[in-house]
Amino acid sequence: MYFVYSRKSLLLKGKAAVQPAAPSALFMSCSFTGDEMFDDHDELVRVAAAVIMDGEKMLICQRGINHRYGLKWEFPGGKTLPGEPLRECLERELWEELDIEPVRPKELKTIQVTYSDGGNFLITFFMVTEYTGNIRNKVFEDVKWVTLSEISSYEMLEGSLPILPYLS
């Protein structure tokens, strides 16, 4: 059994259980890092990802060495829980990964990507130009602010590449 706190609700195995009394409600989060999360590679996995901008620079994050696609760079975000709306997923993931809450994220584009190992993802990218909190790396190997022209110097995850033309 696991609990995941979302700003809007407290989820029990992906189902809304109770409304939290305050945003500071305590929570536990269950996280999978390896192939155990992907028993069926044909399943389409929904993902919410954030392009966090600060002027001309955007935040990219390096996946942990022990994670699937380890040490590749990506935009922060992650997989939706069963029944979880994309915006709530984005809020939860940014809180879990970077300790921030996006303010009025703007949906950019949804792209389907099939990775070379068979992973099949439907990724919705959101533009985040404003957020509350201070970015604090909670889960990644590294995080960096880069310009669009600098991003080609990093080994980006396949799913992050198709959004790049929409950022110029």
pLDDT number for residue 168: 83
Q: What is the pLDDT of residues 60-110, one digit of tens each?
A: 999 999 999 999 999 999 999 999 999 999 999 999 999 999 999 999 999
Lowest mean pLDDT, pick from 47-51, 65-69, 119-123, 129-133: 65-69
63: nearest Cα among 34, 105, 28, 101? 34
3-state secondary structure of 145: strand
Residue scoring higher pLDDT (51 or 5): 51
Whole-prediction pTM = 0.77
> How high does pLDDT run on average in the chain?
82
d(CA 149, CA 144) in angstroms, rounded, equals: 14
Identify the H or E element spanning 101: strand 101-102
Reported as a pLDDT band with limits 50, 70 and 90, residue 163 is very high
Is the pLDDT at 9 greater than 90, yes or no? no
**Domain spans of the chain?**
40-167
Q: What is the pLDDT of residues 27-60, one digit of tens each?
A: 333 333 344 444 445 689 999 999 999 999 999 9
Asked whether the beta carbons of 148 and 168 are under 8 A apart, the reply is yes
Which residues lie closer than 8 Å to 21 by C-beta, 6 or more apart?
A: none
Distances (CA, A) of 59 to 32, 55, 75, 121, 157: 23, 11, 7, 21, 14
Class (C level, CATH) for 40-167: alpha beta
Task: State percent of the chain over pLDDT 70.
Answer: 75
